[in-house]
Amino acid sequence: MRKLVLVVVLSCSSIVFAQKKSKVLVTIDGEKTTVADFKRIYEKNLDAIDNEEAKDVQKNLDLFINYKLKVKEAYDIKLDTLASYVKEMETYRDQLSAPYMQDSSYINKLVKDAYYRTKNEVKAKHILIKTPENASPKDTLEAYEKIIKIRDRIIKGEDFEAVAVETSDDPSTRDDARSGRPGNKGNLGYFSAFRMVYPFEDAAYTTKVGEISEPFRTRFGYHILKVDSLRASKGEVEVAHILIDDTSSKGEEIANEVYKKLQNDEQFPALARQYSSDVGTKSKGGKLRPFGSGVMVSSFEDAAFGLQKEGEYSKPFKTRFGWHIVQLIKKLPIASFPELEGELKSKVRSGDRAQLSQKAVVNKLKKKYTIKENEEAKAIFEMANIKSISKDSLQSIILSINDKNFTQEQFVDFLKSKRDISVFQVFEDFKDSEILTYYKDNLEKLEPEFAYTLQEYKDGLLLFELMQQKIWEKSSKDTLGLKNFFEANLSNYEPKELDKIKGEVMNDYQNYLEKNWIADLRRKSVIDIDKKQLKKLIKFYKSK
């Protein structure tokens, strides 16, 4: 009910922005509404009006005046100070401002990139030099210099894999003596969009095949990578499997026994439920979720993608997990861009790419704003006990954005919520965060459409609360008033029993109360309509 009422209310609402070239159409207790303001509201609702009578300009102006009088009443009795109203407006403002915190053109570019990287898989190997969790500029520089030297060795002709085994901080690079698992020598196999952290993915897709990337940083440290190949994506595949987790010859015997049963036309799901060691899938007949390249171990992936016909199954094969037999359920090729666009956009907005879009907004704002950093105040960065410094000693201005200043105390409060990040990086995050907040706090001044929509919701929410108090609650609780109204208008109703038609009578009673209330508001207000401008408006819309 509440949402429905708000939709109706918002169709009549507006915020008045003075326009130099627009004449005043109506003045209500000194508040002016221009012709342009009224036209904006009227034309906004034309598509929803399905009969000529409802399009009447005079009637719409009367409705607008009634609306403005109600909203004025809501402000006069301070409904905008209710805690529930303030909380809901804060929530709505956050939701409404969210798109402005993203660069839409940048988002569109990221979505197109993501589609290309979904249709095409890249194969790469890498070397990682980790940085400490709370890396200082010195730590960062040391890691960067180390990866530069490693890259130089490879550029000069040393084998990438050999250097990776010697120098990489990625533990999967070298053999694991405990498990007997061989190292991957930095090889990551094929992967596509959203499989790696974004900086890594971006470096892989922007480095040419056969070349070594420039050093780049992720949250793990500094990397270099070599791109081995790029190919069209195989899409995804949906399979069922039977796992015999005994890696000995006994496990092979069982797998071969199951394979013979399949050849004798026994059903794969039934055999999976009977023999499979995979407790997560055996009850489902061995069915796995669809997967693409780079998700499964390579031998399992090769077997799954090697199957061509639905229902076809592989011969038993071995991985480090045991013996497998795989059956193809279906292949899922990459869908077209229009089909995937919505899903990709959702992933971009909810993943680490969204930070890039937000960063693009911040970078634009940095060019517009006057931003000053106080280097003397930033000396606290060198203090080991920075989080425990007394507030009295943290009152110097550390950052200014246009006319707004931020103290050391505000920065330290921000710092306390961060872990495993250097104080220098936290300050950059603090600065970016405050730039966005400053922009968000001033959106009404900068974005007219945002201001219009926010005010519409604000007024509509107030009017809902006002109608609740003045009309709906009153009509539902005033049983005597409802009865008197029914008896006074008995000739309008059939049957003549209130209990049987209470809903219809209640609706009429609410309209009656509202009509009297509006009449009272009009008597207490000074309303001045410029008849000349009204005539021009009527003539304008009749000629269209």
- Compare 493 and 542 and report the one with higher pLDDT: 493
pLDDT band, very low/low/confident/very high, at 62 (cuts 50, 70, 90): very high
pLDDT mean over 457-472: 92
28, 172, 237, 267, 299 from 312: Cα distances, Å? 78, 34, 13, 12, 17
Nearest CA to 374 out of 333, 335, 408, 326 is that of: 408
| Residue indicated by tokens 């940048």 | 106
The pLDDT assigned to 351 comes to 84
Q: Which residues of 241-250 are buried (b: 16+ CB within 10 A; e: fewer)?
A: bbbbeeeeee
pLDDT mean over 72-91: 94
The residues near 145 (Cβ < 8 Å, ≥ 6 apart) are none
Q: Report pLDDT digits (tens) over 417-442.
A: 887 678 888 999 999 999 999 999 99
**Coil/strand/helix, residue 122:** strand
The pLDDT assigned to 3 comes to 39
Q: What percent of the chain lies above the pLDDT cut of 70?
A: 94
How many Å apart are CA 188 and CA 511, to the nearest integer? Answer: 71
pTM reported for the whole predicted model = 0.60
- Compare 22 and 200 and report the one with higher pLDDT: 200
- Which residue stretches of 222-336 are H helix? 249-263, 268-275, 298-306
Secondary structure string (H, E, C) spanning 19-34? CCCCCEEEEECCEEEE
Q: With left for phi above 0 and alpha for psi between -120 and 50, is residue 311 left, alpha or beta?
A: left
CB-neighbour burial class of residue 150 (10 A; exposed 0-12, middle 13-18, buried 19+):
buried
The pLDDT assigned to 44 comes to 80
Residue 534 structure tokens: 């009204």
pLDDT band, very low/low/confident/very high, at 177 (cuts 50, 70, 90): low
| Residue indicated by tokens 């109204």 | 485
pLDDT at 6 over 60: no
Do residues 305 and 234 make contact, with C-beta atoms less than 8 angstroms apart?
Answer: yes
The pLDDT assigned to 139 comes to 83
pLDDT band, very low/low/confident/very high, at 353 (cuts 50, 70, 90): confident
pLDDT mean over 132-155: 89
Nearest CA to 201 out of 183, 235, 227 is that of: 227
pLDDT at 448 over 50: yes
- Compare 132 and 61 and report the one with higher pLDDT: 61
pLDDT band, very low/low/confident/very high, at 543 (cuts 50, 70, 90): confident
Question: Looking at 318-332, 392-406, 471-485, which range is the least confident one?
Answer: 471-485
pLDDT band, very low/low/confident/very high, at 179 (cuts 50, 70, 90): low
Do residues 38 and 16 make contact, with C-beta atoms less than 8 angstroms apart?
Answer: no
CB-neighbour burial class of residue 167 (10 A; exposed 0-12, middle 13-18, buried 19+):
middle
**Coil/strand/helix, residue 317:** strand
Looking at the DSSP assignment, which residues form a beta bridge with residue 365?
none
Cβ atoms within 10 Å of 157's Cβ, excluding its own:
6
CA 284, 288, 352, 346 torsion: positive or negative? Answer: negative
pLDDT mean over 307-324: 95
Q: Report pLDDT digits (tens) over 465-490.
A: 999 998 998 888 889 999 999 999 99
If you average pLDDT over every residue of the chain, what do you get? 90
pLDDT at 4 over 90: no
| Residue indicated by tokens 């987790």 | 245
Nearest CA to 213 out of 229, 200, 232, 194 is that of: 200
- Compare 9 and 443 and report the one with higher pLDDT: 443
The pLDDT assigned to 356 comes to 87
| DSSP for 238-267, written as a single string | EEEEEEE---SHHHHHHHHHHHHHHHTT--
Q: Report pLDDT digits (tens) over 232-279.
A: 998 999 999 999 999 889 999 999 999 999 999 999 999 999 999 999
pLDDT at 51 over 90: no
The residues near 24 (Cβ < 8 Å, ≥ 6 apart) are 32, 33, 34, 35, 530, 533
Residue 228 structure tokens: 């081995």
Nearest CA to 296 out of 319, 276, 316, 279 is that of: 319
Q: Report pLDDT digits (tens) over 163-175.
A: 999 999 999 999 8
Question: Looking at 40-44, 73-77, 253-257, 389-393, which range is the least confident one?
Answer: 40-44
Nearest CA to 453 out of 71, 77, 63, 15 is that of: 15
The pLDDT assigned to 21 comes to 60
98, 398, 446 from 367: Cα distances, Å? 21, 20, 16
pLDDT mean over 441-456: 91
- Which residue stretches of 134-242 are H helix? 137-155, 160-167, 198-206
The pLDDT assigned to 487 comes to 92
| Residue indicated by tokens 């907004």 | 361
Cβ atoms within 10 Å of 381's Cβ, excluding its own:
17
pLDDT at 380 over 80: yes
pLDDT at 20 over 60: no
Residue 338 structure tokens: 């229009």
Question: Looking at 23-27, 132-136, 289-293, 353-357, which range is the least confident one?
Answer: 132-136
How many Å apart are CA 300 and CA 241, to the nearest integer? Answer: 10
The pLDDT assigned to 474 comes to 83
